A and B are shown apart, each in its own frame.
Chain A
Amino acid sequence: MRDVAIIGAGMIPFGRRDEDSLMDMLAYASLKALDDAGLGDKSVDAVYVANMGAGILQHQTSIASSLVDRLSLLPAAADVVENGPASGGSAVKNGLLAVASGYYDLVLVVGGEKMREVTGWRATDFVATMTHPQAEYPYGITLPGMGGMFTRLYMEKYGVTREHLLAVSLKNQEMGALNPYAHVEMTLDREGIFDSPHAVVNNPLAADPLHLYDLCPVSDGAAALVLCPLELAKKMAKVPVLIAGFGQATDTHTLQEREDPTDLKAVTLAARQAFEMARLKPGDIDVAELHDAFTILEIAESEHVGFFKKGEGGKAAAAGKTRFGGQIPINVSGGLKARGHPVGATGVAQIVDIVFQLRHELPGNRQVKNARYGLTVNFGGFGNNVTAFVLKRVEP
């Protein structure tokens, strides 16, 4: 197996992008990554497109074939990778394996989703199609609803409080406001969404006990990476970022069939595999992007990957340990909560953000000093399919 590095990274601002089609967004992000890699008019061997919903939302299929045509990357191999909200992580895995095996040298991975094309209740229904078609979906359950049930169980078992959730929300929104690619560009004030009498209006219940500002927004967006063997990467202009570790694991489709529904086994296993492959420990990580589709998930994942003991993640967030400048900065990009969550794009965007961190390219108010190692967790379904990556800066 060859070592695989990232030599190009790019994304477009997430948000509501009425003027762009899904294909426009995928093309723009791809060109940014190709340019970042300094590939100019060169082609690539293969393209992996992460997307969950073009067939449902845009009534369009085979979008990878369409994208290579638009980008004039013919005759590159091209595939769509669909793994729900973990499609991005899965597409990067496909790129990693293809280059590591020696089959391809230059691979483009791009993830994108256009969710604001449909009404909110259609988008909610689209995301809910990943729940069990018999045992869950017909009852009207949504992903925030799964998050609400999980949150109450976590609160009952570990004593997580609304204050803990609020700390994640405020932190990520504050960091997102500094990120030009983020969907949500305003900071939140604690008074308006928690303390004041108006908080019930500004921040109503969304999926009890989760409130509106515990949830990520519904976004359009795309992000892309270029992968190649490490040896080739060392000859390129940018500082290479090594994909030092990867892991992926699955769990039961329904929460009710898990022995302990607060135990996100797939997160633990995916992270453990990634750390073992990288020969690193959670304590070695300088910066992490976790899948905070709901604030509770950032807290639960921070425990399951090993940053904190079970039951300590909420307190750690409230104590500022996961802030920029803290013990382990989590979601310095703003996370899904503020960067946004165009489902197919997210897993790729998390890695793009870590690449920017490890190349030391960000402005001082977001750059983690001397960052060498990063972690990403991309969470599919309700934890039934999870990918994790450990990334490493390769010193020039």
Chain B
Amino acid sequence: MKKEIAITAYKCKQCGRIHYPFHDRCLDCKGRLFEPIKPQGNARLLAYTAIYNLPWGFDQRFLILGVAEFENKVKAMGQIKADSIDSLKTGMVLRPSWEPVRVQAGEDVYGLKFEPIP
């Protein structure tokens, strides 16, 4: 079975707040009923960094990571495909993709990647 990061977001049926990751009760109204939604469209970059001291399990020199907001308001972290962090700017639009983000126990784990739209 393909290893994947859960990327379903949850919209509160009572007040409409969108949650990602999952919460058992709504962060605003404590409601317990949610409509599962998938992130849709492109995403706007909210925060980013490049890390040079990588944790165990990553065999590369550096890794660019960021948090972005999709067109349907889902916010999520992902890896950013860029040669240099200097090409990034807060607020820029990114194209999401679903790709291997790390290897665990010899298997690819799929998750979110973002790429600047030229």
Contacts and interface: CB of A to CB of B under 8 A. Distances in A.
Interface residues of A, number: 38
Interface residues of B, number: 36
B63 A140 contact: yes
Given A149-B66, A256-B67, A256-B77, A140 B90 contact: no
Interface centre among B6, B48, B90 (most CB of A within 10 A): B48
Contacts of A255: 47, 67
B49 A139 contact: no
A159 interface: no
Interface string A131-152: 0101110111110110011101
Interface of A: 119-122, 124-125, 128, 132, 134-136, 138-142, 144-145, 148-150, 152-153, 156, 204-210, 252-257, 261
B67 A145 contact: no
Contacts, number: 115
Nearest to B57: A125
A206 B51 contact: yes
Interface in B27-46: 27, 46
A5 B72 CA distance: 53
A285 B109 CA distance: 50
Interface of B: 5-6, 19-21, 27, 46-58, 63, 65-67, 75-79, 85, 90, 101-102, 104, 109, 111-112
Contact of A138 (B54, B63, B67, B102): B102
Given A135-B20, A135-B21, A140-B101, A208 B46 contact: no
A313 B33 CA distance: 42
Contacts of B55: 121, 124-125, 128, 140, 142
Contacts of A132: 21
A253 B63 CA distance: 22
A261 B54 CA distance: 23
